[in-house]
């Protein structure tokens, strides 16, 4: 019997090995044609189609708005440059051929204001119709129109003849599931030039992501050029001219994002992650010779000048950045230096502060009051909530931990139980790599599955994929982000789907990656062997 079992095991092993080496020619996941990413909330289409002469095609609107005009120009370039027209367009003879489509009309319910900026409450909904009487995109706001134009551009596909471009009869009613759909980009560990930041922002628009979370400074460097404290970047950046963001650079990124319906939220993380601040202003930090000679720890929360300095810097930041929100950080504060500082110990005794977590809370409370006086709303990392800081109602808690005994599920449950709004990043860390198409792991994460009731799930504003830059720079950051962040984009935009067809999602993502590649985004292959036309 044992011999028979051994023989059976050997046979199964051989079959498994043979199966592993059986490879059929062609791509593992053949790309779809004309499928939208992220999937619309509602879509109905049929086999009837138009041919599209991309050289004659135009967007038509009566709106006098630079944001819309610039978007029309961009999308015409995408359509004309990246949809193949290799020869004379063939006129279809099938019964489902409707003729040539030469334009799509765009209508807005509200006046397009070129002075407006995208915000948390913006309406991104739109209705798109490609019917027998023509094509139309209608939206309440310019932000919805931008999303509708992106969808329209994705509906176009190259026919089997390799020559003609087609679009099927389609009806779409669409809006985002969550209002906050972001990517965090760390520009401190490695400096990321404007060219790559623009590529990331372009790709965000192609994926209907709408928040560029700019983690602009950290321990390692301070590339933000402050006009109030120019010495911060002059001494704290990797290089005072080559690796900094001037006021003009920051303005360029804010405007570039605005044109694509994307918010820019800056993060100035304190009281930890501030070592680069201390090169020019060591008086702000806690001396830490007891841990390591000539070293410094977090900001010193006992000094009035600490709060005055931060207030002056944030006053400038409020004038520079146009979004209502600022990310205040508050994560990973190392208490060792505070514990060994006699001045801090005396201060805690005087103020009846009984723990270093409460001391951090004291600091954060002061900073929250400061930004509130500056008409800033705040986002904080989850430690601030977990340490018991009395957060204003409008403060958003950013949940990021899911290891070392910390579960994002439990944290999000507690955040929403307290009536606070939350953002999720814990399962969407782009610097955590796995072999193969690891976007599938990101796709499996569902931000509402934390055991909360319906009222709690309403408090989830969305989430962000985080690209920390210890191991990326301008040469690999974009392809590390995409298409992995595309999985997050669909989870945050599209309707919740139980038991999604993984094969079909993979095929749709193959098409979307090729689409991004054709638009100049060096997104990496998502799945396995394949090709782009």
Q: What angle do CA 359, 361, 362 make, to 5 degrees?
A: 65
Helices H, strands E: what count in the chain? Answer: 17, 18
User: What are the b/e assignments for 272-287, b being 16+ CB within 10 Å?
Assistant: bbbbbbbbbbeebbbb
CA–CA–CA angle 134, 140, 143 (5° rounding): 95
Cα angle, residue 408 at apex, residues 405 and 410 outer, rounded to 5°: 80
Residue 332 known to be catalytic: yes
Rounded to an integer, what distance in angstroms lies between the CA atom of residue 67 and that of residue 64?
A: 9
Q: How many Å apart are CA 92 and CA 56, to the nearest integer?
A: 18
Quickly list DSSP for 508-533: HHHHHHHHHHHTT--PPPSSSS----
- Report the DSSP beta bridge partners of residue 369: none
CA distance 129 to 85: 24
Let me know: does 109 contact 140? Beta carbons within 8 Å.
yes
332, 446, 449, 455: the catalytic one is 332
Query: What are 421's two structure tokens?
Result: 């709004």
Cα distances (angstroms) measured from residue 430 to each of 480, 518, 533: 7, 23, 28
Residue 210 near residue 262, CB atoms below 8 Å: yes
The answer to whether 281 and 227 are in contact (CB under 8 A) is no
- Nearest-5° Cα angle at 37, 325 to 254: 30
Query: How large is the C-alpha radius of gyration of the chain?
Result: 26
C-alpha to C-alpha distance for 5 and 293, rounded to whole angstroms = 65
Q: How far apart (Å, rounded) are the C-alpha atoms in residues 256 and 91? A: 40
CB 446, CB 496: distance < 8 Å: yes
> 236 near 273, Cβ under 8 Å?
no
CA atoms of 97 and 401, how far apart (whole Å): 53
Q: Are strands 211-215 and 97-101 parallel, antiparallel or unpaired?
A: unpaired
Paired with 174 in beta bridges are 126
The three-state DSSP-derived secondary structure of 341-358 is: CHHHHHHHHHHCCCCHHH
Q: What is the largest CA-CA distance in the chain?
A: 87
How many CB atoms neighbour CB 86 within 10 A?
A: 10
Angle at alpha carbon of residue 179, lines to 471 and 405, rounded to 5°: 50
Give the N- to C-terminal CA distance of the chain in Å, as an integer.
56
- Active-site residues, by number, are 332
């Amino acid at each position: 019997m044992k011999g028979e079992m051994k023989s059976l095991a050997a046979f199964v092993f051989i079959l498994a090995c043979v199966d592993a080496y059986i490879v059929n020619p062609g791509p593992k996941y053949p790309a779809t044609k004309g499928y939208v990413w992220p999937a619309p909330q509602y879509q109905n289409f049929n086999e009837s189609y138009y041919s599209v002469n991309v050289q004659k095609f135009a967007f038509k609107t009566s709106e006098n708005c630079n944001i819309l005009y610039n978007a029309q120009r961009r999308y015409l370039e995408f359509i004309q440059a990246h949809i193949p027209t290799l020869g004379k367009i063939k006129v279809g003879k099938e019964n489902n051929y409707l003729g040539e489509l030469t334009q799509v009309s765009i209508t807005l319910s509200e006046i397009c204001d070129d002075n407006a900026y995208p915000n948390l409450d913006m309406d991104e909904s739109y209705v798109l119709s490609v019917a027998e009487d023509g094509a139309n995109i209608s939206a309440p706001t310019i932000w919805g129109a931008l999303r509708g134009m992106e969808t329209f551009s994705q509906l176009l596909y190259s026919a089997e003849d390799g020559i003609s471009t087609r679009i099927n009869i389609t009806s779409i009613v669409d809006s985002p599931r969550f209002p906050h759909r972001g990517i965090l980009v760390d520009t401190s560990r490695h400096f990321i030039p404007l060219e790559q930041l623009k590529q990331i922002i372009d790709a965000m628009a192609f994926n209907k992501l709408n928040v560029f979370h700019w983690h602009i400074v950290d321990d390692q460097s301070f590339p933000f050029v402050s006009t109030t404290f120019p010495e911060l970047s002059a001494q704290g950046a990797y290089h005072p001219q080559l690796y900094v963001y001037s006021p003009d650079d920051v303005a360029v990124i804010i405007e570039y994002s605005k044109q694509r319906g994307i918010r820019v939220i800056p993060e100035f993380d304190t009281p930890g992650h501030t070592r680069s601040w201390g090169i020019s202003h060591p008086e702000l930090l806690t001396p830490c010779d007891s841990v390591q000679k000539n070293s410094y720890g977090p900001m010193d929360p006992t000094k009035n000048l600490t709060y005055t300095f931060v207030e002056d810097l944030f006053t400038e930041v409020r004038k520079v950045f146009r979004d209502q929100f600022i990310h205040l950080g508050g994560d990973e504060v190392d208490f060792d230096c505070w514990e060994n500082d006699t001045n801090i110990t005396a201060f805690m005794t005087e103020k009846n502060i009984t723990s270093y977590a409460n001391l951090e809370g004291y600091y954060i409370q002061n900073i929250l009051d400061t930004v509130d006086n500056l008409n800033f709303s705040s986002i904080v990392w989850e430690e601030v909530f977990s340490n018991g800081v009395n957060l204003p109602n409008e403060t958003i808690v950013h949940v990021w931990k899911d290891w070392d005994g910390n579960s994002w599920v439990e944290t999000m449950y507690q955040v929403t139980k307290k009536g606070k709004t939350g953002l999720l990043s814990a399962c969407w860390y782009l610097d955590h790599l796995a072999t193969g198409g690891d976007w599938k792991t990101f796709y499996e994460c569902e931000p509402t599955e934390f055991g909360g009731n319906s009222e709690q799930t309403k408090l989830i504003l969305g989430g962000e994929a985080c690209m920390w830059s210890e191991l990326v720079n301008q040469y690999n950051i974009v392809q590390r982000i995409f298409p992995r962040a595309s999985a997050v984009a669909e989870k945050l935009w599209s309707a919740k789907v139980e038991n999604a067809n993984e094969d079909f999602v993979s095929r749709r993502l193959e098409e979307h990656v090729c689409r991004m590649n054709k638009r100049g985004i060096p997104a990496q292959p998502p799945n396995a062997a394949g090709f782009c036309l």
